[in-house]
Amino acid sequence: MANEDDAGKKLRQAAVVVPIRPDLPQDLPLIDIFETMLAELKTEIDKASGFKFTSEKLDQSFDLEDLLDDQGNSKSNQEGTISSWIKEFIEQDELISQRSFGEEEMMTLITFLIRGCAIYGHNKGLRIGGFIEYSTATGDNYIIDAVMKISFREDYSDLEIDVEMAELMVSSLSGEELSLLMREQLNEELKNNGVNKELYDSDKYVWLQTIKDTVNQKIKGVKSTKSSLVVDDPDSSYVQERSNDKSLDIENPEKIIQHMQENLRESPDVDRVYMDRNDPRWSGLEYVESEVLYEEFIDNINDFGIHEINKVGDSLTFGQNVCIECVYQKDMAPITKEDIHLLDQVLYFPLTEMVLEYEIVKMLISGYKICFECGVEMFIGVFEVWDFEDQDTRGPVVTNFYDLKTGSHDPAYSYDNWLSFYSEVDVAGKNVYVPGTVYIPE
């Protein structure tokens, strides 16, 4: 796994054209074109506060995370993708359009722009699940590795972790070991076992083995019971959780929020990924639908419902007569260390990175009642992190669901109804669900 410096050298070696006549467009080094494009994409990401945007310059809409087709293969020619953005940018740039690009050069541009956007978005506090899926599908570990290296240098700064040490950790530790180090702060345990820069300088392999031993001791000491939460056992804790949840009432939204905080899980789309990978962060909830369908469902509710509501009492109707009302809000400013630790147990990427970047962040907790035409009623709890001083800088968002009738936290638990209300929130009318198929939204 190459470190960041090596990756930069690779781009330059593959991209730079030795100038014969500097005034010719063909003499433009690929590294300069890459940097120009990345700067443009960063501007679009900033303006959109995300990876979906409409470019005024190119007069088109793009989704930079739209990277894979329904077979998990990379998209290359479809409109609205990063590949089509690159093509349009080249065609509309007076100078660059005169330069020819070989197939290898184009692949280099696409690869490094995807990496650059992912890391930039991560540093801005955006969720980069689409980029992570792309990395996993293509076997390109650069994005995942880069995020972990950043986290280790920041989270374990008191152990004087530098670039070289972080590189060794990422390249040598197992996925489970890396996940635990990302999720929990093991600074004191590592210190007590003698992990420090002096040990690394004297024998880096002893240093690494000490980290491995410390982490594996922690894994054994906190043996998770989550994998035993199987729904086919009528006495399982998952079934009991659903039954007990039925006592919660929409008339007391604060109580539902409290219950969600005490049993916080990632949003269903991410928690489903945890389930598929048997990730220690998995809540134990057995989801019945695919990750992509949960993500599309949540995105539609956010885009056309939640993001259009500002305060308690506000309500609106969207999609196919879906009614949503804000019934609870609590502004926690600044966020406490306890809440940071709580969120870090479930977040795909630890919140501590954002706290270090922005120094002070706050958490806004909101509760919504959503009613579907098919008769299903749910409570939605949204836990959002914001930069305390810059209200436009939005961090991680966790969305939890609670079915007011069944007590389930899986919005698709009532499968027959799911087929109905999944379509009800679709404002654009593009998503037609066919039972028995794995549908990937357009």
Q: Is the pLDDT of residue 340 over 80?
A: no
249 vs 246, higher pLDDT: 249
* Model confidence pLDDT, tens digit, residues 292-307: 788 888 888 988 889 8
Least confident range from 296-300, 364-368, 434-438: namely: 434-438
> What's the pLDDT score for residue 334?
64
Contact 385, 377 (CB under 8 A): no
**What is the percentage of the chain residues whose pLDDT exceeds 90?**
25
CA quadruple 184, 186, 188, 194: dihedral, nearest 10: 180
* Model confidence pLDDT, tens digit, residues 110-148: 999 999 999 999 888 888 878 887 887 787 888 888 888
Confidence label for 350 from pLDDT (cuts 50, 70 and 90): low
- pTM equals 0.48
Least confident range from 3-12, 46-55, 403-412: namely: 3-12
Confidence label for 19 from pLDDT (cuts 50, 70 and 90): very low
Confidence label for 320 from pLDDT (cuts 50, 70 and 90): confident
| Mean pLDDT along residues 188-208 | 92
> What's the pLDDT score for residue 289?
79
Q: Is the pLDDT of residue 37 over 70?
A: yes
What is the C-alpha to C-alpha distance for residues 340 and 288, in angstroms, rounded to an integer? 30
Confidence label for 227 from pLDDT (cuts 50, 70 and 90): very low
Q: Is the pLDDT of residue 52 over 70?
A: yes
**What is the percentage of the chain residues whose pLDDT exceeds 70?**
72
> What's the pLDDT score for residue 386?
67
Q: Is the pLDDT of residue 172 over 80?
A: yes
> What's the pLDDT score for residue 245?
47
Q: Is the pLDDT of residue 3 over 70?
A: no
> What's the pLDDT score for residue 188?
92
Least confident range from 101-105, 209-213, 239-243: namely: 239-243
Q: Is the pLDDT of residue 17 over 80?
A: no
The average confidence (pLDDT) of the chain is: 77
82 vs 246, higher pLDDT: 82
Confidence label for 336 from pLDDT (cuts 50, 70 and 90): low
Question: What is the 3-class SS of the chain, one letter each residue?
Answer: CCCHHHHHHHHHHHHCCCCCCCCCHHHCCHHHHHHHHHHHHHHHHHHHCCCEEEECCCCEEEECCCCECCCCCECCCCCCCHHHHHHHHHHHCCCHHHCCCCHHHHHHHHHHHHHHHHHHHHHCCCCCHHHHHHHHHHCCCHHHHHHHHHHHHHHCHHHCCCHHHHHHHHHHCCHHHHHHHHHCCCHHHHHHCCCCHHHHHHCHHHHHHHHHHHHHHHHHHCCCCHHHCCCCCCCCHHHHHHHHHCCCCCCCHHHHHHHHHHCCCCCHHHHHHHHHHCCCCCCCCCCCCCHHHHHHHHHHHHHHCHHHCCCCCCEEEECCCEEEEEEEEEEECCCCHHHHHHHHCCCCCCCHHHHHHHCCEEEEEEEEEEECCCCCEEEEEEEEEEECCCCCCEEEEEEEEEECCCCCCCCCCCHHHHHHHHHHCCCCCCCCCCCCCCCCCC
Q: Is the pLDDT of residue 430 over 80?
A: no
Confidence label for 28 from pLDDT (cuts 50, 70 and 90): confident
> What's the pLDDT score for residue 189?
92
* Model confidence pLDDT, tens digit, residues 374-409: 788 899 999 887 655 555 545 568 899 998 888 888
Q: Is the pLDDT of residue 175 over 80?
A: no
| Mean pLDDT along residues 57-69 | 89
| Mean pLDDT along residues 229-258 | 55
> What's the pLDDT score for residue 357?
47
